[in-house]
Amino acid sequence: MLNIEIEQATTAWATVSKILYIPHSEAEYQEAVQLLDDLIDIVGEDENHPLASMMEVLGVLIEKYEDEHVPEITDI
């Protein structure tokens, strides 16, 4: 069963990987943020939407980039 799922994922990944990836540059980060904004407009608060989990994964990837590349604002 798992092999069938991997085959299906392999077929889909060629398309999905063009928009869902770990951002390694500022440009990729900005693209990810724009995609997340677009997904938020589409998905909204509907946790049952087919793209809700994609939105969540993208949010985690953006957060990881920010943790590593965006300096924290400190109070003076």
Number of domains in the chain: 1
Q: Tell me what pLDDT residue 74 has.
A: 75
Q: Tell me what pLDDT residue 72 has.
A: 80
30 domain-assigned: yes
Q: What is the DSSP string of 33-46?
A: HHHHHHHHHHHTT-
39 domain-assigned: yes
8 domain-assigned: no
Domain that holds residue 54: 19-76
> Which residue ranges of the chain lie beneath pLDDT 50?
none
- pLDDT cut 90: percent of the chain above it: 86
Q: Tell me what pLDDT residue 22 has.
A: 96
The pTM of this model reads: 0.83
Q: Tell me what pLDDT residue 73 has.
A: 78
Q: Tell me what pLDDT residue 75 has.
A: 67
Q: Tell me what pLDDT residue 71 has.
A: 84
19 to 3, 58, 75: CA distances (angstroms):
24, 10, 36
